[in-house]
Structure 1
Amino acid sequence: MTTARAPRLEKITPANLEAALALRVRPEQEYAVDPVAHSLAEAYVRPGKAWPRVIVDDGRVVGFVMAFLDIDWRDDGTDVRSGLWRLNIAADEQGKGYGRFAVNAVAEELRRRGTKTLHVTWHPGEHGPEDFYLTLGFEKTDERVNDEHVGALRL
Structure 2
Amino acid sequence: MPTSLHLQEITPDNFERAVELRVAPDQEHLVAPVVKSLAEAYVHPGVAWPRLVCDGAEAVGFLMAFFDIDWTGEGTDFRSGLWRLNIADGKQGRGYGRFAVRSVADEIRRRGGTRLTTTWHPGADGPAGFYLALGFRPTGETSGGQTVGALELG
TM-score (norm 2): 0.95
Q: What is the deviation of 1:146?
A: 2.1
Aligned partner (choices 132, 136, 140) of residue 138 of structure 1:
136
* Deviation (angstroms), 1:5: 4.3
User: What is aligned with 1:61?
Assistant: 59
Per-residue Cα deviation, 1:98-122 (whole angstroms, up to 9, x for no partner): 0000000000000000111100001
Q: Specify the alignment match of 1:50 in structure 2.
A: 48
Structure 2 residue 37 is matched with structure 1 residue 39: yes
The structure 2 residue matched to 1:148, chosen from 142, 146, 149, is 146
Give, as a single letter, the amino acid of the residue that structure 2 aligns with 1:35. P
- Once the two structures are aligned, what percentage of the paired residues are identical? 59
Partner residue, 2:93: 95
1:12 and 2:10 are equivalent in the alignment: yes
> Number of residue pairs matched?
152
Query: Deviation of residue 127 (structure 1)?
Result: 2.0
Question: Could you tell me whether the CA contact under 8 Å between 2:64 and 2:84 is conserved in 1?
Answer: yes
Q: 1:16·1:61 contact (CA, 8 Å) conserved in 2?
A: no
After superposition, what is the alpha-carbon deviation per residue over 1:8-67, rounded to whole angstroms, capped at 9, x for unaligned? 001001111111101111111111100000000111111111110001112111100010
SS at match of 2:90: helix
Residue aligning to 1:25: 23
State the partner residue of 1:108: 106
For 1:146 and 1:38, locate their aligned partners in 2 and report how far apart those are by CA, in whole Å: 16
Where does the alignment leave 5 or more consecutive residues of structure 2 unmatched? Answer: none
Aligned residue type for 1:136? L
